[in-house]
Amino acid sequence: MSAPNAERPGLSYRSAGVDIDAADDAKTRIGRLVESTRTAGCIGEFGAFGGMFRAPTGGRPILVGSADGVGTKIKVAIDAGRHDTVGHCLVNHCVNDILAQGATPLFFLDYVAFGALVPAVVEAVVAGVAAGCRENQCALIGGETAEMPGLYTPPDYDLAGFIVGTVQEGETLGAARVRDGDVLLALASSGLHTNGYSLARRIVQERLQLAVDQPFPGEGGATVADVLLRVHRSYLAAVRPVLGRVHALAHITGGGLPGNLNRALPATLDALVDTRTWEIPNAFRVLEEAGQVARDEMYRAFNMGVGMVVVADPADASSVLASAEAAGVPAWALGHVAPGTGQVRFISQ
């Protein structure tokens, strides 16, 4: 090995943009947050190679897994320097996805990747994840914090999450349970949730020409960041008490009502959505007008106020609506299921 050269100093991991001390600092900060999500199924301690959780027993349990991110909502968080909500969105999003199969959460793992790792930001992001885990009685059993110089441009970072829940075999929800004459019940979204942000950000920046700290039109003084960072709602509390009465659930994410409600339909039935049954919330109307976005495109890109659709027997509609109300989630009769070809049809008269 040749001697170090003064003009070409020896390289280190840190000189290449990776700060192991920062990673250790972040890990220390995360420990307390992870502990706050501990549930009865947890085994072992924080810091192992893999997180451990007791497998569900009794009956014929099925594990349901889902992976997701928060899309470019993360850019709003970064622009606003408000890092403690997107993790909560991520968990709630994943909870809703497995709830659509009838599953309730067991545990969660996260992946956060930075251009330059800032321990306080890692802590804020994981604080959001932990808040979501606590809300949904879901243990945060592990995760990865990566520093990837050259891939992410500081202060950018990305966040992905992975959930595992469980449902008994024979109790899975879905299209196979849906019947002609079933009702469609809408559960209100809390905002844009985690979809349509690339379009929303472009409209806000280019058409409305608003920065994240400026008031969003028609929102009573709430800023762009306030409106766009509203936490993706979890429907677990609203739906869990009546899961046995539900035929299918559609989580309204990318693709909107037409691209998600169809996933809850068999090939012989259509979903008829009556668009007169709710008022599209202000934020979507502002984006639609400012961006001159076609109405069809709005329904594909955004949830338009409907975060989850419950498909159930008409006799169970009032129970489902009451359960949602009890959980503080506005809910209403959105339409019904009729013979068709697996399509979502909008009706307005």
**131 touches 123 (CB < 8 A):** no
What is 199-215 written as a DSSP string?
HHHHIIIIIS---TTSB
Q: How far is the CB of 86 from a copy of itself (least distance, A)?
A: 12
The residue (of 198 and 341) whose beta carbon lies closer to a copy of itself is 198
For 26, residues 6+ apart whose C-beta sits below 8 A from its C-beta are 117, 119, 122, 123, 145
d(CA 157, CA 11): 25
Q: How far is the CB of 339 from a copy of itself (least distance, A)?
A: 23
The residue (of 124 and 248) whose beta carbon lies closer to a copy of itself is 248
Q: How far is the CB of 46 from a copy of itself (least distance, A)?
A: 12
Q: What is the CA radius of gyration of the chain?
A: 22
d(CA 172, CA 188): 23
Q: Which amino acid is at 105?
A: P
**341 touches 271 (CB < 8 A):** no
Q: How far is the CB of 186 from a copy of itself (least distance, A)?
A: 17
Q: Is 11 left (phi over 0), alpha (psi -120 to 50) or beta?
A: beta
- Hunting for tokens 């979809």 — which residue is that? 195
Q: How far is the CB of 322 from a copy of itself (least distance, A)?
A: 25
Q: How far is the CB of 9 from a copy of itself (least distance, A)?
A: 7
Q: How far is the CB of 157 from a copy of itself (least distance, A)?
A: 9
Strands across the sheet with 269-274, in order? 246-251, 306-312, 183-188, 331-339, 269-274, 344-347
Residue 16 in 3-state DSSP?
coil
The residue (of 169 and 279) whose beta carbon lies closer to a copy of itself is 169
The residue (of 8 and 339) whose beta carbon lies closer to a copy of itself is 8
Phi/psi at 55 (nearest 5 deg)? -65, 145
Residue 246 in 3-state DSSP?
strand
